Amino acid sequence: MTPEGWAVFLGSWALIIALNLFCFWKLLTEKPAEEVTKEEPSPPPPA
Amino acid sequence: MPDETRERWSGKLGIIMAVAGSAIGLGNFLRFPAKAAANGGGAFMVPYLVALLLFGIPLMWIEWTTGRYGGAFGHRTAPGMFHSLWRHPAIKYFGLIGIFGPIVVFIYYTYVESWTLAYAFFSLFGEYGGATDQAGMKGFLASYQGLNNSHFNGLAVAYAFFLVTFLVNCWILFRGITKGIEWLCRWAMPVLFILGIALAVRVLTLPPDPADSSRNVLNGLGYMWNPDFSALKNPDVWLEAAGQIFFTLSVGFGVILTYASYLSRRDDVALSGLTGASTNELAEVILGGTIIIPAAFIFFGKAEMAGIARSGTFDLGFVTMPLIFERLPLGNVFGAAWFLLLFLAGITSSISLAQPAVAFLKDELGITKRKAAILFIIITFILCQPAIFFYGNGVLGELDFWACNFCLVVFATIETILFGWFFGIDRAWTEMHYGADIRVPRLYRYVIRYVTPTFLLVILAAWFLQTGPPTLRPGNIRDWPALCAKLRHGPPAAEFVDGWPAPGPGLARLLPRDAQVAVTEVRRDRAFGWEHKAAVLSGLNQLLERSVLFEDGVFRRVSLPTNVQQFLKTDRGKWSKEDVQWLNRSLLQAAFPEHIGPRRAKIIEVLLMVDVADPDRPYILGTRIMLVVLFLGLYIGLQIAWRKRRDVWDRTEPPEEAQP
């Protein structure tokens, strides 16, 4: 395994594990939706 | 409306596991490592991650948002959802692709899934018919598939495993969303990850080959991950990466639309969509990238790896891996674990593929859940049969092309343009963030509106711009009798540079025996039917794979195009099988320009399969007729739904209970 190979290998692992940790941490510590976003639902489509 | 239409996921984790289960399939463990190893190793991760960020994750968000939005209008499938996004009378018909595609995949995927179940048993009991090398194991697989009688007498065993697999799918379908799909995914996904981790740890702790210490796990990982950045100059590598993202995330099928339609209007889609995608990536890159290629490297060495990596998904999973497990201590247990992992990955995907059609029957046509499941089972059971009994005639490949290449890309392009442009990016963005647990970076407004559709249109255009595979198809031959005559005598002198004389005997001497007979038949003025053409074509295609065709002297002085001359100056040690085929095909074209036509666009090459000389023509045509009938059936169903539930289709806002 070359140094470039290690860099790609560990970089890909780190990116994907970090993404998963972020997602599951957010899921497990979720707040009520209204506190997170103030967005209103979209209006109905035009007839 | 029956009460059961109010089915809902029991929790957020339930739908995330279901979406991840749908996405994690055989492709994560077989297709991804093979594609990466064959397309620049670690460098493949560059286009792969770009595709993930620019259209994989955006498509996830588009499908989750569209599904939840359409679900609020009482629609569970793409036709109604598309109609709720854009009130154009024609748009619902494009949505039919989102039901048609998953049915087509389901009818062959369940059969492939049943192989994994069968191989789990074969592995556990060490029953591979004494096969100890690649050729033997390929023969065993072919015999199991009914292509020869060397190990199995007919299809009885394969069919028995198919029936078991199909019945398990039916049972889960009957149980519905919460008690069926969610229940399955809640236990199958953790088991799948535990098996995957156990296998990855086993591979990473394998000792080096005692006879050759270079065959060790680090070099195996290096084969998979060492980057060859020069591969990034090749547009095909980018297209392969984009294709892999499509297959792996289950986007563009219509499955996620149906799953998300069971969410309530207040449920988050932004974080859930991202979590579904990231869970799939965990299985694909971390587990898929660690198991198969490093293990194959240790047991087969670098010399055989190029062939193994390019041998195709099925050969990797069902030929290479059993051979590896045969040589491991406790190999039967690890082999059974590997195929059980593939089976779980398969069943969580196949069950999701059934859902759009069942939901369409139940919710749009208003029949009960039980009757919808029975109708789906009867129809798909009948449609499964050609893929099983005519597997050797290319039926499965034909179904795969239309479902996993054509429908997937067309459907994804339509839904992306619809979401970003016709529904409108402002409304789409607001809808996506309603109830969201995370804020999506604002950059994605522009990605969803401009970059994702452009990416998809480039993939569509590539079908017409990319030339097809180098293998010869019947439609490439312009004049069969004249070609056969020239094959016997070699290329004419006029086609040689500087008028060099034609060298030695013709190409016919290099052809297999049956092709030589077919070529001779023409000389004797016998009837030259498609059997003869098929034999000659098959013989020529075998010649294309010979690395020595150029050296045989037959083509030494043929006037070659500049790109071929330049290619001949490159390092022959780095030529792949495809490179050799391409070179030999170019040589044939240069030698017989009036008789062998050039390679055409990929899509045209596929359509040429129905050429009169193709011995599989009746099966391919039959498959296409079957698909047309299926689509027409869905079209009629949609017309009925349109009339029957006009009040639902005409809604301009979600009903009271779906209002926030």
B514-545 pLDDT per residue, tens: 888 888 776 655 566 667 777 888 888 888 87
Q: Residue B621: which pLDDT band, with cuts at 50, 70 and 90? A: confident
Query: Quick check: is B605 in a domain?
Result: no
**To the nearest whole number, what is the mean pLDDT of chain B?**
85
User: How many residues are recorded in chain A?
Assistant: 47
* pLDDT above 50 (res B139): yes
Q: Are B428 and B65 in contact (CB under 8 A)?
A: yes
What pLDDT, on the 0 to 100 scale, is given for residue B588? 82
Average pLDDT rounded to a whole number, residues B442-456: 95
**Subunit contact A1:B218, Cβ cutoff 8 A:** yes
* Three-state secondary structure of B262-326: CCCCCCCCHHHHHHHHHHHHHHHHHHHHHHHHHHHHHHHHHHHHHHHHCCCHHHHHHHHHHHHHH
* pLDDT above 80 (res B606): no
Q: Are B342 and B116 in contact (CB under 8 A)?
A: yes
Helix (H, G, I), strand (E, B) or coil at B212: strand
How far is Cα of residue B211 from the mean position of the Cα atoms in its chain? 37
B437, B442, B648, best to mutate vs chain A, most A CBs in 10 Å: B437
* Residue from the list B12, B42, B435 with its beta carbon closest to the beta carbon of A27: B12
Dihedral sign, Cα of residue B390, residue B391, residue B394, residue B397: positive
**Number of domains forming the structure of chain B:** 2
Residues in CB range of B16: below 8 A, 6 or more apart: A27, B272, B275, B276, B279
- DSSP assignment, residue B214? T
Express as a percent the part of chain A with pLDDT over 90.
51
What pLDDT, on the 0 to 100 scale, is given for residue B308? 77
* Least confidently predicted of B224-233, B472-481, B551-560: B551-560
Query: Quick check: is B512 in a domain?
Result: yes
Tokens read off for B272: 């859930």
Distance CA B497, CA B219 (A): 46
What pLDDT, on the 0 to 100 scale, is given for residue A14? 95
* pLDDT above 50 (res B499): no
Distance CA B243, CA B253 (A): 13
Q: Are B456 and B413 in contact (CB under 8 A)?
A: yes
Burial of B149 (0-12, 13-18, 19+ CB in 10 A): exposed
* Residue from the list B275, B430, B436 with its beta carbon closest to the beta carbon of A36: B436
Out of B571, B599, B627, a domain closes at B599
Burial of B29 (0-12, 13-18, 19+ CB in 10 A): buried
CB contacts, 8 Å: A16 with chain B: 278, 281-282, 285-286
Are B445 and B540 part of one and the same domain?
Answer: no
What pLDDT, on the 0 to 100 scale, is given for residue B580? 82
Are B321 and B183 part of one and the same domain?
Answer: yes
Helix (H, G, I), strand (E, B) or coil at B128: coil
Distance CA B19, CA B272 (A): 9
What pLDDT, on the 0 to 100 scale, is given for residue B148? 83
* Least confidently predicted of B8-12, B46-50, B155-159, B387-391: B8-12
- DSSP assignment, residue A38? -
Between residues B309 and B397, the one the model is more confident about: B397
* pLDDT above 60 (res B211): yes
Out of B572, B599, B626, a domain closes at B599
CA atoms within 13 A on the CB side of B653: 8
Are B227 and B348 part of one and the same domain?
Answer: yes
Are B458 and B481 part of one and the same domain?
Answer: no
- Find the residue in A nearest to B278 (Cα): A20
Between residues B610 and B601, the one the model is more confident about: B601
Query: Quick check: is B612 in a domain?
Result: no
Are B403 and B542 part of one and the same domain?
Answer: no
What pLDDT, on the 0 to 100 scale, is given for residue B2? 43
* pLDDT above 70 (res A37): no
Distance CA B293, CA B643 (A): 54
Alpha carbon distances (Å) from B144 to B129, B163, B321, B325, B384: 11, 15, 16, 19, 17
Q: Residue B496: which pLDDT band, with cuts at 50, 70 and 90? A: very low
What pLDDT, on the 0 to 100 scale, is given for residue B556? 57
| φ and ψ at residue B212, rounded to 5 degrees | -150, 100
What pLDDT, on the 0 to 100 scale, is given for residue B563? 80
What pLDDT, on the 0 to 100 scale, is given for residue B575? 76
CATH number of the domain at B207, please: 1.10.4160
Are B80 and B172 part of one and the same domain?
Answer: yes
CB neighbours (10 Å) of residue B280?
Answer: 27
> How close, in Å, is residue B582 to chain A by CA atoms?
30
Q: Residue A30: which pLDDT band, with cuts at 50, 70 and 90? A: low
Distance CA B559, CA B495 (A): 7
**Subunit contact A36:B12, Cβ cutoff 8 A:** no
Distance CA B521, CA B17 (A): 61
Determine the structural domain holding residue B212 and report its residue range: 3-468+618-658
Are B288 and B376 part of one and the same domain?
Answer: yes
**Subunit contact B218:A30, Cβ cutoff 8 A:** no
* Least confidently predicted of B73-77, B287-291, B498-502, B608-612: B498-502
Under 8 Å CB pairs connecting chains A and B tally to 119
Question: Does any CB of chain A come closer than 8 Å to the CB of residue B265?
Answer: yes
What pLDDT, on the 0 to 100 scale, is given for residue B492? 45
Residue range B277-311, pLDDT digits in tens: 999 999 999 999 998 888 888 888 887 887 777 66
Query: Quick check: is B604 in a domain?
Result: no
Return left, alpha or beta for B528; rule: phi > 0 is left, psi -120 to 50 is alpha, else beta.
beta
Average pLDDT rounded to a whole number, residues A33-46: 53
Are B411 and B521 part of one and the same domain?
Answer: no
Are B90 and B132 part of one and the same domain?
Answer: yes
Between residues B4 and B619, the one the model is more confident about: B619
Distance CA B602, CA B478 (A): 19
Distance CA B337, CA B124 (A): 9
* pLDDT above 90 (res B388): yes
CB neighbours (10 Å) of residue B571?
Answer: 6
Query: Quick check: is B312 in a domain?
Result: yes
Q: Residue B247: which pLDDT band, with cuts at 50, 70 and 90? A: confident
Residues in CB range of B474: below 8 A, 6 or more apart: B533, B534, B537, B608, B611, B612, B613, B614
E strands of B104-208, at which residues? none
Q: Residue B502: which pLDDT band, with cuts at 50, 70 and 90? A: very low
Are B103 and B182 part of one and the same domain?
Answer: yes
Q: Are B525 and B543 in contact (CB under 8 A)?
A: no
CB contacts, 8 Å: B278 with chain A: 16, 19-20, 23
Q: What residues form DSSP beta bridges with B558? A: B496
Q: What residues form DSSP beta bridges with B209? A: B212
Average pLDDT rounded to a whole number, residues B262-288: 92
Query: Quick check: is B607 in a domain?
Result: no
What pLDDT, on the 0 to 100 scale, is given for residue B495? 43
Are B105 and B179 part of one and the same domain?
Answer: yes
Query: Quick check: is B624 in a domain?
Result: yes
| φ and ψ at residue B209, rounded to 5 degrees | -65, 125
What pLDDT, on the 0 to 100 scale, is given for residue B490? 60
**Subunit contact A13:B286, Cβ cutoff 8 A:** yes
Are B250 and B277 part of one and the same domain?
Answer: yes
